Amino acid sequence: MKKLYLCSILIFIGYISPAQINKGTVLLGGELGFSNSTQKNYTNGAPAPVPTFKFTYASIQPSAMIAIGKNLVWGIDLDFDYQAQPNSNYDMHYNEYGIGTFLRKYKPLGSGFYLFGQSGLEFTYGDERITYPPSTGPDSFTETKNAIFSLGFSPGIAYAVNRKWQVELLLSGLFYADYANDKETDIVINPTEPASTNVEKANGFDFGSNLSTGLTQLLLGVHYVIGSK
Protein backbone atom coordinates (compact mmCIF):
# COMPACT_ATOMS: atom_id res chain seq x y z
CA MET A 1 0.00 0.00 0.00
CA LYS A 2 2.87 2.37 0.83
CA LYS A 3 4.37 1.70 -2.59
CA LEU A 4 1.03 2.55 -4.19
CA TYR A 5 0.87 5.85 -2.28
CA LEU A 6 4.46 6.64 -3.26
CA CYS A 7 3.79 5.95 -6.95
CA SER A 8 0.63 8.11 -6.82
CA ILE A 9 2.57 11.01 -5.26
CA LEU A 10 5.34 10.76 -7.88
CA ILE A 11 2.81 10.70 -10.72
CA PHE A 12 1.03 13.74 -9.24
CA ILE A 13 4.30 15.67 -8.83
CA GLY A 14 5.27 14.80 -12.38
CA TYR A 15 1.92 16.05 -13.64
CA ILE A 16 2.05 19.44 -11.87
CA SER A 17 5.80 20.07 -12.40
CA PRO A 18 6.58 22.61 -15.10
CA ALA A 19 7.63 21.06 -18.42
CA GLN A 20 11.25 21.63 -19.35
CA ILE A 21 12.82 22.38 -22.73
CA ASN A 22 15.61 19.84 -22.85
CA LYS A 23 18.97 20.11 -24.59
CA GLY A 24 18.74 19.22 -28.29
CA THR A 25 15.13 20.34 -28.74
CA VAL A 26 14.59 22.25 -32.01
CA LEU A 27 11.94 24.95 -32.50
CA LEU A 28 11.04 26.13 -36.01
CA GLY A 29 8.66 28.99 -36.80
CA GLY A 30 8.70 32.71 -36.16
CA GLU A 31 6.70 35.84 -35.36
CA LEU A 32 4.12 37.91 -37.19
CA GLY A 33 3.08 41.48 -36.50
CA PHE A 34 0.48 43.76 -38.11
CA SER A 35 -1.18 47.05 -37.24
CA ASN A 36 -3.32 49.53 -39.15
CA SER A 37 -4.71 52.87 -37.94
CA THR A 38 -6.46 55.85 -39.51
CA GLN A 39 -7.11 59.29 -38.08
CA LYS A 40 -9.76 61.32 -39.92
CA ASN A 41 -10.12 65.07 -40.15
CA TYR A 42 -13.58 66.64 -39.82
CA THR A 43 -14.82 69.97 -41.15
CA ASN A 44 -18.15 71.28 -39.79
CA GLY A 45 -18.96 67.77 -38.60
CA ALA A 46 -18.29 66.14 -41.99
CA PRO A 47 -15.22 63.95 -42.66
CA ALA A 48 -12.60 65.46 -44.96
CA PRO A 49 -11.93 63.55 -48.22
CA VAL A 50 -8.31 62.85 -47.25
CA PRO A 51 -7.41 61.44 -43.79
CA THR A 52 -4.88 63.46 -41.83
CA PHE A 53 -3.02 60.34 -40.75
CA LYS A 54 -2.90 56.71 -41.84
CA PHE A 55 -0.36 54.10 -40.76
CA THR A 56 0.19 50.46 -41.78
CA TYR A 57 2.80 48.14 -40.33
CA ALA A 58 3.57 44.48 -41.11
CA SER A 59 6.40 42.25 -39.91
CA ILE A 60 7.49 38.66 -40.64
CA GLN A 61 10.34 37.12 -38.63
CA PRO A 62 11.05 33.43 -39.40
CA SER A 63 13.41 31.78 -36.92
CA ALA A 64 15.13 28.50 -36.01
CA MET A 65 16.20 27.64 -32.46
CA ILE A 66 17.99 24.77 -30.75
CA ALA A 67 18.25 24.14 -27.01
CA ILE A 68 21.91 24.22 -25.93
CA GLY A 69 20.98 23.53 -22.30
CA LYS A 70 17.89 23.00 -20.19
CA ASN A 71 15.48 25.88 -20.97
CA LEU A 72 18.28 27.74 -22.80
CA VAL A 73 18.11 28.07 -26.59
CA TRP A 74 20.25 29.66 -29.29
CA GLY A 75 18.66 30.81 -32.52
CA ILE A 76 18.90 32.73 -35.75
CA ASP A 77 16.18 34.79 -37.37
CA LEU A 78 15.36 36.82 -40.47
CA ASP A 79 13.38 40.06 -40.41
CA PHE A 80 11.12 41.56 -43.09
CA ASP A 81 9.28 44.76 -42.11
CA TYR A 82 7.02 47.09 -44.08
CA GLN A 83 5.60 50.47 -43.07
CA ALA A 84 3.40 52.90 -44.99
CA GLN A 85 1.99 56.34 -44.19
CA PRO A 86 -0.05 57.67 -47.17
CA ASN A 87 -1.13 61.05 -45.79
CA SER A 88 -2.32 64.35 -47.22
CA ASN A 89 1.08 66.05 -46.87
CA TYR A 90 3.34 63.14 -47.87
CA ASP A 91 3.40 59.48 -48.87
CA MET A 92 5.93 57.35 -46.96
CA HIS A 93 6.91 53.73 -47.63
CA TYR A 94 9.61 51.87 -45.72
CA ASN A 95 11.09 48.37 -46.24
CA GLU A 96 13.51 46.70 -43.84
CA TYR A 97 15.50 43.47 -44.12
CA GLY A 98 17.50 41.92 -41.30
CA ILE A 99 19.35 38.89 -39.99
CA GLY A 100 20.21 38.18 -36.38
CA THR A 101 21.26 35.72 -33.72
CA PHE A 102 20.02 35.47 -30.14
CA LEU A 103 19.97 33.59 -26.85
CA ARG A 104 16.69 32.91 -25.07
CA LYS A 105 16.18 31.71 -21.50
CA TYR A 106 12.84 30.10 -20.56
CA LYS A 107 11.33 30.05 -17.07
CA PRO A 108 8.65 27.32 -16.80
CA LEU A 109 5.54 28.46 -14.93
CA GLY A 110 3.52 25.25 -15.09
CA SER A 111 0.41 24.26 -17.05
CA GLY A 112 2.37 24.72 -20.29
CA PHE A 113 3.27 28.41 -19.73
CA TYR A 114 6.76 29.93 -19.87
CA LEU A 115 8.24 33.37 -19.31
CA PHE A 116 11.36 34.10 -21.35
CA GLY A 117 13.96 36.77 -21.91
CA GLN A 118 15.77 37.11 -25.23
CA SER A 119 19.03 38.95 -25.91
CA GLY A 120 20.26 39.27 -29.48
CA LEU A 121 22.45 40.93 -32.07
CA GLU A 122 20.90 41.96 -35.40
CA PHE A 123 21.92 43.66 -38.63
CA THR A 124 19.22 45.43 -40.61
CA TYR A 125 19.10 47.37 -43.86
CA GLY A 126 16.28 49.84 -44.44
CA ASP A 127 15.07 51.75 -47.49
CA GLU A 128 12.60 54.61 -47.03
CA ARG A 129 10.99 56.81 -49.69
CA ILE A 130 8.86 59.87 -48.95
CA THR A 131 7.02 61.55 -51.83
CA TYR A 132 5.55 65.03 -51.47
CA PRO A 133 2.49 65.98 -53.57
CA PRO A 134 2.80 68.82 -56.14
CA SER A 135 0.26 70.88 -54.18
CA THR A 136 2.94 71.60 -51.58
CA GLY A 137 5.40 72.88 -54.21
CA PRO A 138 7.55 71.31 -56.96
CA ASP A 139 7.58 67.51 -57.26
CA SER A 140 10.02 66.24 -54.66
CA PHE A 141 10.91 63.12 -52.74
CA THR A 142 13.36 61.95 -50.11
CA GLU A 143 15.18 58.60 -50.12
CA THR A 144 16.85 57.33 -46.94
CA LYS A 145 18.97 54.21 -46.75
CA ASN A 146 20.26 52.97 -43.40
CA ALA A 147 22.33 50.12 -42.04
CA ILE A 148 21.95 49.32 -38.34
CA PHE A 149 23.77 47.01 -35.93
CA SER A 150 21.59 46.48 -32.88
CA LEU A 151 21.89 44.80 -29.48
CA GLY A 152 18.53 44.30 -27.79
CA PHE A 153 16.56 42.63 -25.04
CA SER A 154 13.01 41.35 -25.59
CA PRO A 155 10.80 39.61 -22.99
CA GLY A 156 7.86 37.37 -23.77
CA ILE A 157 5.48 34.64 -22.69
CA ALA A 158 5.02 31.25 -24.38
CA TYR A 159 2.42 28.50 -24.13
CA ALA A 160 2.86 24.87 -25.15
CA VAL A 161 -0.38 23.91 -26.89
CA ASN A 162 0.87 20.31 -27.01
CA ARG A 163 4.19 18.48 -27.39
CA LYS A 164 4.62 19.72 -30.97
CA TRP A 165 3.31 23.29 -31.03
CA GLN A 166 4.15 26.39 -29.02
CA VAL A 167 2.63 29.89 -29.32
CA GLU A 168 4.11 33.08 -27.87
CA LEU A 169 3.86 36.83 -27.48
CA LEU A 170 7.16 38.74 -27.87
CA LEU A 171 7.67 42.35 -26.77
CA SER A 172 10.30 43.13 -29.39
CA GLY A 173 13.04 45.67 -28.69
CA LEU A 174 12.15 46.60 -25.11
CA PHE A 175 15.74 47.76 -24.52
CA TYR A 176 18.26 48.40 -27.29
CA ALA A 177 21.67 49.81 -28.26
CA ASP A 178 22.15 50.71 -31.94
CA TYR A 179 24.89 51.85 -34.27
CA ALA A 180 23.39 53.33 -37.43
CA ASN A 181 24.76 54.61 -40.73
CA ASP A 182 22.29 56.75 -42.70
CA LYS A 183 22.29 58.28 -46.17
CA GLU A 184 19.52 60.73 -47.06
CA THR A 185 18.96 62.03 -50.59
CA ASP A 186 16.55 64.92 -51.26
CA ILE A 187 15.49 65.41 -54.89
CA VAL A 188 13.38 68.33 -56.16
CA ILE A 189 11.99 68.15 -59.71
CA ASN A 190 10.96 71.46 -61.30
CA PRO A 191 9.74 71.38 -64.94
CA THR A 192 11.46 74.68 -65.74
CA GLU A 193 14.80 73.90 -64.08
CA PRO A 194 17.21 70.97 -63.75
CA ALA A 195 16.47 68.65 -60.84
CA SER A 196 18.32 69.57 -57.66
CA THR A 197 19.82 66.91 -55.39
CA ASN A 198 21.07 67.17 -51.83
CA VAL A 199 22.82 64.28 -50.04
CA GLU A 200 23.41 64.02 -46.30
CA LYS A 201 25.24 61.23 -44.45
CA ALA A 202 25.26 60.51 -40.73
CA ASN A 203 26.26 57.79 -38.31
CA GLY A 204 26.15 57.38 -34.55
CA PHE A 205 25.10 55.40 -31.49
CA ASP A 206 21.69 55.28 -29.87
CA PHE A 207 20.45 53.38 -26.83
CA GLY A 208 17.39 53.38 -24.64
CA SER A 209 13.98 51.80 -24.13
CA ASN A 210 11.19 51.70 -26.69
CA LEU A 211 8.65 52.00 -23.88
CA SER A 212 9.44 55.70 -23.69
CA THR A 213 8.66 56.22 -27.38
CA GLY A 214 5.66 53.93 -27.77
CA LEU A 215 7.38 52.05 -30.63
CA THR A 216 7.64 48.68 -28.91
CA GLN A 217 6.33 45.93 -31.18
CA LEU A 218 4.10 43.16 -29.83
CA LEU A 219 4.60 40.12 -32.07
CA LEU A 220 2.66 36.84 -32.17
CA GLY A 221 4.80 33.76 -32.73
CA VAL A 222 4.23 30.07 -33.49
CA HIS A 223 6.89 27.34 -33.29
CA TYR A 224 6.93 23.67 -34.23
CA VAL A 225 8.85 21.64 -31.65
CA ILE A 226 11.14 18.76 -32.66
CA GLY A 227 12.45 16.68 -29.77
CA SER A 228 11.29 15.89 -26.24
CA LYS A 229 10.35 18.54 -23.72
Instruction: Quote the mean pLDDT of the chain.
Output: 81
User: Could you tell me the residue ranges of all domains in the chain?
Assistant: 18-226
Contact 149, 178 (CB under 8 A): yes
Confidence bin at 185 (pLDDT 50/70/90): confident
What single string gives the DSSP state of each residue in 94-163? EEEEEEEEEEEEEEEEETTEEEEEEEEEEEEEEEEEEEE-GGGSSEEEEEEEEEEEEEEEEEEEEEESSS
Q: What is the pLDDT of residue 88?
A: 67
Distance separating alpha carbons of residues 166 and 184, to the nearest angstrom:
42
C-alpha distances out from residue 110 to 93, 101, 159, Å: 43, 28, 10
Q: Is the pLDDT of residue 2 over 50?
A: no
Confidence bin at 123 (pLDDT 50/70/90): very high
Report angle CA 122, 125, 127 to the nearest 5 degrees. 150
Distance separating alpha carbons of residues 136 and 64, to the nearest angstrom:
47
Q: What is the pLDDT of residue 1?
A: 46
Among the ranges given (115-119, 130-134, 161-165), the one the predictor scored with the smallest mean pLDDT? 130-134
Q: What is the pLDDT of residue 4?
A: 41
Q: What is the pLDDT of residue 27?
A: 96
Percent of the chain whose predicted confidence (pLDDT) is above 70: 76
Q: Is the pLDDT of residue 135 over 70?
A: no
Q: Is the pLDDT of residue 148 over 90?
A: yes
pLDDT tens digits, one per residue of 87-106:
767 788 899 999 999 999 99
Q: What is the pLDDT of residue 8?
A: 41
Q: Is the pLDDT of residue 194 over 80?
A: no
Confidence bin at 50 (pLDDT 50/70/90): low
Confidence bin at 14 (pLDDT 50/70/90): very low
Distance separating alpha carbons of residues 175 and 210, to the nearest angstrom:
6
Contact 130, 139 (CB under 8 A): no
CATH class of 18-226: mainly beta
Contacts of residue 89, Cβ cutoff 8 Å, sequence gap at least 6: 132, 133, 136
Q: What is the pLDDT of residue 121?
A: 96
More confident residue, 76 or 207: 76
Q: What is the reported pTM?
A: 0.73
